[in-house]
Amino acid sequence: MLAELQKRFEDAFSDTFAVAAEHGLDRKAAPLLAEVAKKYETPEGIDKVSAVAIQVEQVKGVMQQNINSVLSNQDNLDTLLTESTAMAGEASSFSRTANQAKNAMWWKNMKLIIAIIVLFVILIAVVFASVYFNKGAKL
């Protein structure tokens, strides 16, 4: 950097450098100094190897983040698999219990229907019997 600055300064001001007063070249040299400073402001301006090294570090950081994300996703998938297996077992148990309750209610309903039919048959028998015996008593 310093060698390049010296060469460019000598090329631009070689004739006025030796005879210039103190701070006499400040205004003339300012753009040259600013240009060289801007070039070497970032590592990319120094050389291509540094630029590639910076890009490699950036890619390495991104890859580390991606690997961490994949591991986190794997943990989440394992948790989800465990929970879904537990839910499948609970669903099976619920289905079995629901079927047992359905069958119990069906039998209870059938018993009630049979009881109503028996009562209805007894009621009809009582009505017929009373009508039949009432007719027989009047004769």
Q: pLDDT for 3-18, tens place per residue?
A: 766 676 676 666 666 6
Q: Name the average pLDDT for the chain.
A: 82
Give the C-alpha separation, 9 to 32, whole Å: 8
pLDDT of residue 16: 67
Listed by start position, the domains of the chain span 1-41, 42-138
Burial 121-139 (b: 16+ CB within 10 A, else e): eeeeeeeeeeeeeeeeeee
Q: pLDDT for 53-105, tens place per residue?
A: 888 999 999 999 999 999 999 999 999 999 999 999 999 999 999 999 999 99
pLDDT of residue 106: 97
pLDDT of residue 65: 94
